[in-house]
Amino acid sequence: MSELLKQLFQSGEIYKHAWITIWTTLLSTFIAYLIGLPIGVLLNVTDKEGLRPCVPLNRALGLIVNILRSMPFVILMVAFLPVAKFFVGSSTGNAAMLVMLIIAAAPYVARLVESSLKEVDRGVIEAARSMGASDLQIIFKVFLPEAKPSLIVGAVISTVTILGYSAMASTIGGDGLGKVAIIYGHQRFNEDIIWVCVAFTVVIVQIIQEVGIFIAHKTDKRIRKIKKRRVL
Amino acid sequence: MIEFRHLRKEYPAANGTLVALDDINLSIENGVIYGIIGLSGAGKSTLVRCINLLERPTAGEIVIDGEDLVKASGKRLREIRRNIGMIFQGFNLLEQRTVEANVRFPLELVKTPKEQANRRIDELLRLVGLQDKAKAYPSQISGGQKQRVAIARALATGPKYLLCDEATSALDPNTTNSILELLKDINRKLGVTIVIITHEMKVVESICSYVAVIDKSKIVEHGKVAELFSCPKSEIAKELILPGLIRSESTPGNKLRLIFDGSVTDKPLISALSRECGVEVNILFADTKTIDGKIFGHMVIAMPNDDRAVAEIKSFLDKNGVTYKEGI
């Protein structure tokens, strides 16, 4: 074990960075959902087969989402430095990292939400319509509740993706496991530090996945039968 | 009353337009069970979807109790829809809600107070015989039970009309019968006008009093079910009543169609005919059943090539009170 690694553990530095990785990931995922969820709903609703088709709006939204999604995160970060500066007053550090993560995650979330909503049976939508439901009622009482398990699975996937992004954010001075691995590990030739960071991220990802999938299964009323059979 | 006036529906298609409904004119009186029958692709599903404007017609009017739906605003249309329940072939229940919560759904839409909603749900689940399944999820109940939930849900807001789009097509024969009985019950007890879309003559036969036959986007004939059975005019109606017989050219010669409308009591009629008239008859088609000792249905028999024998057969049938038609 290298001296530096020992120091990192003794000073608690490594744990501090692990926590930063966790909370930046969770916070940016949460804010990304505040933005991405409504956009995803809008993408679905305005689709030409949607509840309220509006092709120009759908195309425009789709284009913005596609452009942001096709930018590699490292490039997106440097390209949007002025945006971070505008929002948080700085283009480096943890606050800037959060802005970048949100910009990168929101369009991703929007597409995931859109595809989750697409899975909702059109017949059920039609039935709700036949009962006199308004478009808003269909969104809040049919689309979102019926797609809930799939939305939760989507949230797990996006959280893990954002965790991956957050490691790259050390490029703009963001803290976290990524920074530890690159600056203390890679740049100072301490391979063991890199592997410790890997171990930490693996554990974090596993926890997020297990908890998320558990909740998704727990809330899904469609698979109860199968589950029961499995128990028997 | 539901009235269609010069209703037309077109869909854009790869090569021009596809006409799904062509100049439909039809009136459905209140309180009846009205069947709309046709083969798949005939346009019957589009027609029933026009009644609550799930499909917007290209031209024409849909008038319900004197009001033209096509001209109704969004808000008014939703109000009208609450007066028209609908059930589907695929049940279309909300999978993430319990049986009880599914029935609650339309009540939630109109913000019914909870107490009142609970009482209504109780009442409806009792009506469809599912009180004990209130807390179950759709994935835990059978197809027939799902359709019962759908019926309870469709009736929650106390509609005057109930549309059934192939509501029994996904069910086995026994379950189909029990659902049809339930619909009949609802019609009788609650006075709900029921419109049934189906491709099965059996469904029409067992519960409808009126029927319209739709073929290639047009209504080819309509009227009382009994009349359609005794003298179907269109080829398609004959095909639906006597499946397989119309197209088969394998049996040339004269045919006689015997119509049993319940006026004849169950007895070995054909063997008696054969014995008394001294002729041999060949049964080409038979679809009859006995209800309370009376025969219902049809039978097509081949006539001998002998005028005297034919006359004898006819007089035998007259004597026994059997309605018949030459040809099919």
Same domain, B186 and B296: no
Last residue of a domain, one of B231, B263, B285: B231
Using a CB-CB cut-off of 8 Å, the residues of chain A touching B95 are 121, 124, 146, 221-222
Q: Give the pLDDT confidence score for residue A232 in this predicted structure.
A: 40
Domain boundary among B209, B231, B253: B231
Residue B112 domain flag = yes
| B23 and B114 housed in the same domain | yes
- Same domain assignment for residues B158 and B70: yes
Q: Are residues B35 and B160 in the same domain?
A: yes
Residue B275 shares a structural domain with residue B219: no
Q: Does residue B200 sit in the same domain as residue B226? A: yes
> Of A91, A106, A107, which Cα lies nearest the Cα of A171?
A91
Task: Say whether both B220 and B200 belong to one domain.
Answer: yes
Distance from CA of B174 to the nearest CA of A (A): 24
Tokens for B201?
Answer: 């003559």
Give the pLDDT confidence score for residue B248 in this predicted structure. Answer: 56
Q: Judge whether residue B255 has pLDDT over 90.
A: no
- Amino acid identity of residue A32, one-letter, is A
Taking residues B204-230, report their average pLDDT: 90
Q: Which residue in A has a C-alpha nearest to residue B150's C-alpha?
A: A127
Question: Is the same domain home to B169 and B223?
Answer: yes
Hey, are the CB atoms on A126 and B54 less than 8 Å from each other? Answer: yes
From residue B138, alpha-carbon distances to A225, B74, B91, B126 in Å are 10, 31, 10, 17
Residue B298: is its pLDDT beyond 90?
no
Q: Hey, how many other C-beta atoms are within 10 angstroms of the C-beta on A11?
A: 10
pLDDT at A225: 47
- B78: nearest CB among A123, A132, A149: A132
With CA atoms as reference, report the closest residue to B287 among B265, B316, B257.
Answer: B257
Cβ distance A41 to A113 under 8 Å? yes
Name residue A111's beta-bridge partners: none
CATH of the domain at B31: 3.40.50.300
The tens-digit pLDDT sequence of chain A (232 residues) is: 788 888 889 998 999 999 999 999 999 999 999 999 999 999 999 999 899 999 999 999 999 999 999 999 999 999 999 999 999 988 888 999 999 999 999 999 999 999 999 999 999 999 999 999 999 999 999 999 999 999 999 999 999 999 999 988 888 888 999 999 998 888 989 899 999 999 999 999 999 999 999 999 988 988 654 444 444 4
Q: Provide the residue range defining the domain that includes B251.
A: 242-326
> What per-residue confidence (pLDDT) applies to B244?
67
Q: Which residues from A are below 8 Å from B111, CB to CB?
A: none
Shared domain for B49 and B142, answered yes or no, is yes
Q: Is residue B168 part of a domain?
A: yes
Q: Does A122 touch chain B (CB under 8 A)?
A: no
Alpha carbons B196 and B47: distance in angstroms, whole number: 11
Total tally of structural domains belonging to chain B: 2
Domain assignment of residue B158, yes or no: yes
Residue of chain B minimizing CA distance to A217: B96
Domain covering A3-231 in this structure, CATH number: 1.10.3720.10
**Residue A43 CB-density burial (10 A; 0-12 exposed, 13-18 middle, 19+ buried):** buried
Mean of pLDDT values over B217-242: 86
Q: Of A123, A220, A224, which is closest to B88 when you measure between CB atoms?
A: A123
With a pLDDT cut of 70, the percent of chain B lying above it is 96
Determine which of B96, B103, B137 to mutate to test the interface with A (most A C-beta atoms within 10 Å): B96
Residue from the list A130, A132, A221 with its beta carbon closest to the beta carbon of B95: A221
Share of chain B above pLDDT 90, in %: 59
Contact B91, A127 (CB under 8 A): no
- Asked whether residue B306 is assigned to any structural domain, the reply reads yes
pLDDT confidence of residue A229: 46
Rounded to 5°, the CA angle B1-B5-B9 comes to: 115
Residue B237 maps to a domain: no
8 Å CB contact of A132 and B97? no
Residue spans per domain, chain A:
3-231
Q: Does residue B209 sit within a domain?
A: yes
- CB count in 10 Å sphere of residue B249: 6
Q: What is the ipTM of this complex?
A: 0.84
B81/A131 Cβ within 8 A: yes
Contact (Cβ atoms closer than 8 angstroms) between residue B244 and residue B261:
no
> Using CA atoms, how far apart are residues B122 and B84, in angstroms rounded to an integer?
21
Kindly give, in sequence order, each residue whose CB lies less than 8 Å from that of residue B89, ignoring residues fewer than 6 positions away.
B165, B166, B167, B169, B170
User: Would the pLDDT of B274 be above 70?
Assistant: yes
Assigned domain for B236 exists: no
CATH code, B310: 3.30.70.260
Higher pLDDT pick, B136 / B269: B136
Given this model, what pLDDT does residue A223 score? 63
Q: What share of chain A is helix, strand, coil (3-state, %, to 5)?
A: 85, 0, 15
* Minimum distance, in Å, between the CA of residue A90 and any CA atom of chain B: 45
Average pLDDT taken over every residue of chain B: 89
Is A61 in contact with A42 (CB distance < 8 Å)? yes
Residue A12 in tokens: 């608690």
Dist CA B4 CA B210 (whole Å): 16
Best mutation target, A131, A148, A223, to test chain B (most B CBs within 10 A)? A131
Q: What's the order of all strands across the beta sheet hosting B67-68?
A: B16-28, B2-13, B59-64, B67-68
The 3-class secondary structure across chain B, one letter per residue, is CEEEEEEEEEEEECCEEEEEEEEEEEEECCCCEEEEECCCCCCHHHHHHHHCCCCCCCEEEEEECCEEHHHCCHHHHHHHHCCEEEEECCCCCCCCCCHHHHHHHHHHHCCCCHHHHHHHHHHHHHHCCCHHHCCCCHHHCCHHHHHHHHHHHHHCCCCCEEEEECCCCCCCHHHHHHHHHHHHHHHHHHCCEEEEEECCHHHHHHHCCEEEEEECCEEEEEEEHHHHHHCCCCHHHHHHHCCCCCCCCCCCCCEEEEEEEEEEECCCHHHHHHHHHCCCCEEEEEEEEEECCEEEEEEEEECCCCHHHHHHHHHHHHHCCCEEEECC
Cα–chain center distance at B60: 24
Kindly state whether B107 is in contact with chain A, defined as any CB-CB distance less than 8 angstroms: no
Interface contact flag, B97 A221, Cβ < 8 Å: yes
A227 touching B (Cβ < 8 Å): no
Q: What's the predicted TM-score (pTM) here?
A: 0.85
Distance of residue A2 Cα from the nearest chain B Cα, in angstroms: 54
Q: Write out the two tokens for B151.
A: 């019926």
